[in-house]
Structure 1
Amino acid sequence: MINLIKRDAIIQKNQLLIFIPFILFFVFMDTHPVIIFLVASIFIPFNAFAYDEQAETNILLNSLPYTRKEIIAARYLGALVYMLLSVALTAITLLIFNKPFTMEQIGFGISMFVLFAACSFPLFNILKQGYISLVLLISFLFLVGIVPKWVDKLLPHIPTIINFITNLSNLVLYGSVLLFTLILYIVSWMLSTYLYQRKTF
């Protein structure tokens, strides 16, 4: 399974050369740190999925001595591994260029990635090839561009929820968000496994 996780980096060795310039673009544009950590986390896992979609890699993977459960497990675990590496590299880059960020912003960026991955990974087993990348791009733009604005508009109209949230300690608040996203990620993992085991190639 480790070889399956390493495969994502190997097949993207040329694309990884633009990872730092990709992050630097957002840094120099003074993008919010949460968004920078989010897009950095997405870079490797979703490039791997896009490659698999174009090359029909699933046919090859299923000819190798791996079960379908292991293939899905490698994708979900690999996404977390590359997310952590990307977050660490992004944090170092921000520090080098003296761009301030907080641990809370890292946490929210990670939570947004896990949420987006949990919602989108099963789509690779549902949608037809050729449509997945477009749907994910639209979904990502929706998540980054529209959802925060909706939240900002809705918050003033729900004072009860605001009071409840503000009374929570940071540890409880961030822990609850992390727990929710992890549970959703596990449910997504189980759903993808179920769909993939019944898919024909």
Structure 2
Amino acid sequence: MTASTDPTNPDEALAKRLVDSSHLHSQAAIDAFRTTDRHAFLPGVDLASAYKENAVPIKHDEHGEMISCITAPSIVATQLEQLGAQPGHKILEAGAATGYNAALLGKIVSPGGQVWTLDVDQDLVASASQHLAEASVGNATAIMADDAAVLPEHAPYDRIIFTVDPGDVKLLEQLAPGGRLALPMRTAAASPAASPSNATRTPVAI
């Protein structure tokens, strides 16, 4: 797919904004942002809200508390740049949300790569699957799972990324040699995964 250079295209404008703010650097990530319609992953959300520099809630609990959201664009960009995914890589993502992050990753690891994105909520998995299909991202699959450790059949993974609280992470054994595990910064310091048992496996705080 050829990236648009139309400044009125909201995805092109978003990519430019993230490049100008130094959140995006690599050409593959820039092209992924340019060619992935963020708004399409947020049906029912107005265009301005979909592209603003804030997280957008997508699910609340019975008390009205937010339990899932699409992450602010600059955080998504930072995550992807630090993850350093490459064409042909196998990626495990915990936290499917809307499927937007998996769509970006799917484009970054093409050709030959594959993304598996997990979530504990069946409704989120269903909507993420629908969004990925509508965006024609054929190498990213949303799967219902209570724990990221329950998908060892595709291991070893070149990259593992958490967009949710990882809790007690026990996934280093599923990383390929030279692989990278990316965790939210607020939990990385306390996580067992923050102390690699193999120097070729690199946890990254995001």
Q: Compute the TM-score of the two structures, normalised by the length of structure 1.
A: 0.26
Q: Which has the higher helix share?
A: 1
Task: Determine which structure has more spread, i.e. the larger CA radius of gyration.
Answer: 1
Structure with more of its chain in strand, by fraction: 2
Which has the higher relative contact order, 1 or 2, with Cα contacts under 8 A spaced 6 or more apart?
1
State TM-score, norm by structure 2: 0.26
